[in-house]
Structure 1
Amino acid sequence: MDWFLGLLSLLCCCCCFYYRHLQSKKACKAEPTEWPLLGHLFGLLANLHHYHDWATVVLAGRRYNFPVQAGLTGVRFFITCDPSNVRHIFTSNFLNYPKGEEYAEIFDVLGHGIFNADGDSWRSQRAKSQLLMAAPRFRSFSARCTRDKVDKSLLPFLAHVADADAGARCDLHDVILRMTFDMTCNLVFGVDPGCLRIGLPVVPVAHAMDDVLNATFLRHIFPPACWSLMYRYELGPEKKMAVARRTIDRFAADTIAKRRSDHELGSSSDMLSSFICCSNDDDVSDDFLRDTAINLLFAGRDTTGAALSWFFYLVCKNPHVEQKILDELAPIAATKGEQQDMVAFDVSELSSLVYLHAALCECLRLYPPLPFHHKAAIAGDVLPSGHELKAGDKILVYSYSMGRMEGVWGKDCMEFRPERWVTNDGKLRREPSYKFLAFNAGPRTCLGKEVAFTQMKAVAAAVLWNFAVEAVPGHVVEPKLSVMLHMKNGLAVTVKRRKVACVHAIAT
């Protein structure tokens, strides 16, 4: 027995020394331990509950770059938030860094749409979308849809909440996502699902989109063979993915069929109608329309919805920012007169507001809707940071972390300070896209950037001017485990009407 206890003690000592050896190889405490055979897998799984913030701490300790590998599982990627690497990957050496086949497999729900496409297919789809979205007819249609949704749905719903009971609460994150879903369906399909009706009806396709986003995040962590098998047999999180895929496909098929049968298709300004009318017969298959529409639906609903949710969260925490926005809106509101129950603003009236735009940019810096971007290297390359990549290597560019790097944004990088976007002479400061990655960078810069800003300004101005929104004390707000930066617990707020006398006092 004594020899057994001695051997056990020796083994424990060896394990302790080996563990200390592994720990000594780490550049920062938060960095995951690299174990034989399994690599960083234990660290990845242990930190899934706060992955974005954990990755940010690791990147800060590793000078913005960290190679992740999970040994025999086959999971291997390089994460970076280094602006010089971003410029190289997204612009200087763009052709070497497409989305890649693995990206298309992970996001297979998007089919062959523009977000999954590379090469000639991507260039063709981008050219068509750019031509459509730049047309005056579509811009006018977009502005009208935004104004109508704010005027006829969002403001009446918030008024109903405010009038229902003193200190009435609602989940503003859910409200905003419902609104952006309606707005995007209007722009893409030409239909309004009415998700923001009083009573908040259940919307199966919206829930399906949430399930897809949650499952696709886990696909970045799990080995491809594992999640593929789970999807085939509908197990674990992939069961929700399979059900969600069927729900989304059914919604798209039904909507496309209705648009095709519409006798007034040519007079409609939505994107689906425009693609049907303007495309050649060979290009306008139902599969093409399905992939295009679903890509645009995810882009419009989730990016704008997530950004606006975080914007209201930050404004609630920073009342001095809210006051400055109200001060900027006051001269416009003063021209509206007192006959209106609530004030809504035209898109043209908000385009010149510097501080509101700056506040939105500052929100997007701290909480970009897409916390990371996925790329793959076609050929081996050496990044400006000195890190070597092999052909086929996967890269995750962490925009969420970049906004929190002191070396990129200064010592106040964790503060919500819209003033950083305003020059000394009161104009809007422009930052390079490889530093401010909220709308992607290089040739794949987001085509919907102007539409998104238009929608965000209209919603932010209308809500802040007409209502006092306050976060419920004690409610925990944190990012959800998803490829989109949604809120895990929603945004619980109280909504109260602003007093008319106070509004006009500000305006004068």
Structure 2
Amino acid sequence: MPVREGSLFGLGTILKVVKISKASRLLEANFSRFQKMQTKTFSMMTNGQSVIYTIDPENVRAMLVTQFDSWELSALRKTAYTRLLGHGIFTTDGDAWKHSRAMLKPSFTRGEIGNVEMLERHSESLIKAIRLQQDQNSVDLGDLFFRMTTDFATEYLFGEPTESLERGVEDGFCEAFSGGLKYIGKLSRVGRLGLFFGRTKFQAERRYLYNFIDRYVRRTLEDAKDGAKFPSRHTFLHELSRQTNDVVRIRTELLNILIAGRDTTASLLTNTWHVLSHRPDIVARLRKEIASDLPPQKRPTFEELKNLTYLSAVFKESLRLHPVIPLNTREATVPTTLPKGGGPDGTQPVFVAKGQPVIYSSYAMQRDKNVFGDDAEEFHPERWLDTDEGKGIRPGFSYMPFNAGPRICLGQQLALMEASYVTVRLLQEFESIEARDNRPWTEEIGVTCVNKYGAKVALA
């Protein structure tokens, strides 16, 4: 396996990570490193230990599926994320993770995901917010998407929306949650070095979030104690209140799942609409598909959304080029091996010591020209479509926008459904889309990854 030399104990590597992160070039630099070394797996001293970096789909498949029990979340991630999220589905392994996942599963059934009435209410609020800003030269859909998905996720999970869209800049929840996630995301990449930057602000944001969510939790627990009937629609908060009256435990689980319900969808929408504002050809084809499959201004149903194949291809391509989780890490729980990367030609297994981290980059892996073609760095939704000439691309473990194996994202169908519904409604409502920011897509990495400059557009 190739070895890239680092400074003593890898301190120089961490300082470089801090520098290129500030320049919004972490993903690009990581991708370039694989290209320059002409390998899919190498090791380097990072943060005081030897770390393996890989973009080999066989290695990723081993960690996430075939050798699942030999791997766990990295200690760095768990330490960083726990500072805000506590011990929930994104910060635990083993039995604790299984218990969190079992509690979550009922919230993502077909009946819950297909609630288009709720999606319509929040889409209408989004459209209203856009129209209120029409006197300006542009609207930042990125900001509005994060507020809308916050409203939808809190109603979906808590039973009551935060009304972040209506409150706008006066809403403290969105700002506190976004700030907190950026901070723990930074800690997960640079470790304790990140504690020297923004700690006081983070503590204030965490305090605000905890107090905000605890009000929901205590009110629900009081209602349960007083014998009040829960609403007919299942919510995650009510399910949790049936299982425990521990406010901290309930708050922890709610915060964890809010990331999936809010940030994943908002990042996907922002990244996609940044592209759409610069690609009238894609917008025209989307409008044609919507007009063909839906009567004018008809609100789409769950099944109708699933049949919009070009829209699905657009989101697949967005998640390929701009994955919302672009980097991930696992640590070996026992001495083990990865299938590829060793030997003179990189085809032999690689030994991994107990506790040794392995970092894999979906961002780099999903740009592999051997898998996706010579145009792998271009936004080309057609690569996913079946035609008379042949089937669309089937990349296997070279493409994992929602993870894979036992830890595959429970909320992926909900995220895609919400993103699809909102996109259809905006295209139905507005006849023209013009970009108001010509800067290229630029990474901003917290817990998820989104275009740093949002999606600034003019809609009419």
> Under a length normalisation based on structure 1, what TM-score does the superposition of the two structures give?
0.81
Of residues 95, 119, 128, the one that matches 1:156 is 128
Aligned residues: 441
Q: Does 1:111 align with 2:86?
A: yes
Q: Distance in 2 between matches of 1:366 and 1:125?
A: 31
C-alpha displacement of 1:146: 1.1
In structure 1, which of residues 109, 114, 120 is the aligned counterpart of residue 95 of structure 2? 120
User: Which residue among 279, 288, 292 is the counterpart of 1:331?
Assistant: 292
Deviation at 1:358, TM superposition (A): 0.9
Instruction: Say which SS state the counterpart of residue 358 (structure 2) adopts.
Output: strand
Distance 1:401 1:132 in 2: 33
Partner of 1:65: 41
* Partner amino acid, structure 2, of 1:435: S
| CA deviations over 1:385-419 (Å, ceiling 9, x no partner) | 22332111122221111122212322111111111
What letter matches 1:200 in structure 2? G
Show the 5 A alignment for 1:197-276: 197=166, 200-224=168-192, 226-227=193-194, 230=195, 235-262=196-223, 263-276=228-241
Q: Report the CA distance between 1:186 and its aligned residue.
A: 0.7
- Please identify, of 421-430 and 319-328, the stretch whose mean Cα deviation from structure 2 is larger: 421-430
Q: Which residue of 2 aligns with 1:503?
A: none
User: 1:375 maps to what in 2?
Assistant: 330
CA drift of 1:323 comes to 1.0
SS of residue paired to 1:69: strand
Kept in 1, the 8 Å contact 2:60–2:360? The answer is yes
Tell me the secondary structure at the aligned position of residue 6 of structure 2. Answer: coil
Contact 1:209 1:298 in 2 (8 A): no
Moved more, 406-415 or 179-188: 406-415
Report the equivalent of 2:13. Answer: 40
- What displacement does 1:473 show? 4.4
**SS of structure 1 residue aligned to 2:164:** coil
CA contact (8 A) 1:354 1:428 kept: no
Please name the residue that 2:69 is paired with. 95
Question: Which AA in structure 1 matches 2:263?
Answer: D
Report the Cα offset of residue 429 of structure 1.
4.9
Partner residue in 2 for 1:363: 318
For 2:173 and 2:394, locate their aligned partners in 1 and report how far apart those are by CA, in whole Å. 37
Structure 1 contact 372–483 (Cα < 8 Å) conserved: no
Instruction: Report the residue type matching 1:298 in the other structure.
Output: I
Task: For 2:51 and 2:323, locate their aligned partners in 1 and report how far apart those are by CA, in whole Å.
Answer: 21
What is the percentage of aligned positions where both structures have the same residue?
A: 24
Q: Distance in 2 between matches of 1:458 and 1:452?
A: 10
- Determine the C-alpha separation between the residues in 2 that align with 1:260 and 1:461: 38
Note if contact 2:89-2:100 (Cα within 8 Å) is conserved in structure 1.
yes
Cα distance in 1, alignment partners of residues 389 and 203 from structure 2? 51
**2:347 maps to what in 1?**
none
The alpha-carbon distance between structure 1 residues 221 and 161, as it changes in their structure 2 partners (threshold 3 A), is closer
Amino acid at match of 2:422: V
Give the aligned residue type for 2:235.
D
Distance in 1, Cα, partners of 2:287 & 2:219 = 43
Point out the structure with the larger strand share: 2
Aligned equivalent of 1:317: 278
- CA shift for structure 1 position 249: 1.1
SS at match of 1:486: strand
Give the conservation status (yes or no) of the 8 Å contact 1:161–1:495: no
**Superposition TM-score, scaled by structure 2 size:** 0.88
Q: 2:378 corresponds to which letter in structure 1?
A: E
SS in 2 for 1:483: coil
Please say if 1:398 is aligned against 2:361: yes
* Cα separation, partners in 2 of 1:42 and 1:256, compared to 1, 3 Å: closer
| CA distance 1:67–1:204, shift in 2 (3 Å) | farther
Give the Cα separation in 2 of the matches to 1:124 and 1:490: 36
8 Å CA contact 1:354–1:427 kept in 2: the answer is no
Separation in structure 1 between the aligned mates of residue 381 and residue 438 of structure 2, nearest angstrom:
26
The residue that corresponds to 1:286 in the other structure is 247
| Distance in 2 of aligned mates of 1:474 and 1:357 | 25
**Aligned equivalents of 1:318, 1:266: Cα separation in 2:** 44
Paired position in structure 1 for 2:397: 434
Distance 1:294 1:254 in 2: 13
Q: Which amino acid aligns with 1:124?
A: H
Match of 1:145 in 2: 118
1:262-292 Cα deviation digits (max 9, x unpaired): 4332534322113323x3xxx4422221111
Structure 1's 275 and 40: CA in aligned 2 closer, same or farther, altered over 3 A? closer
Residue of structure 2 equivalent to 1:505: none
Q: CA deviation at 1:304?
A: 0.4
User: Relative to structure 1, is the Cα distance of residues 429 and 453 closer, same or farther in structure 2, using a 3 angstrom cutoff?
Assistant: farther
Matched to 1:113, the amino acid is G
Cα drift, residue 196 of structure 1: 1.4
Displacement of 1:179: 0.7
What is the distance in 2 between the residues matched to 1:473 and 1:439?
29
Q: Are 1:77 and 1:396, in contact at CA under 8 Å, matched by a contact in 2?
A: yes
Aligned in 2, Cα 1:424/1:110: closer, same or farther, shift over 3 Å? same
Q: Counterpart of 2:156 in structure 1: which amino acid? A: L
Output aligned runs, 1:382-393, within 5 Å. 382-385=337-340, 386=342, 387-393=350-356
Deviation per CA, 1:364-400, whole angstroms, max 9, x where unpaired? 1111111112211112222122233211112222111
For the residue of structure 1 that corresponds to 2:329, the secondary structure is strand
SS of the residue 2:398 aligns to: coil
Alpha-carbon distance in 2 for matches of 1:457, 1:272:
26
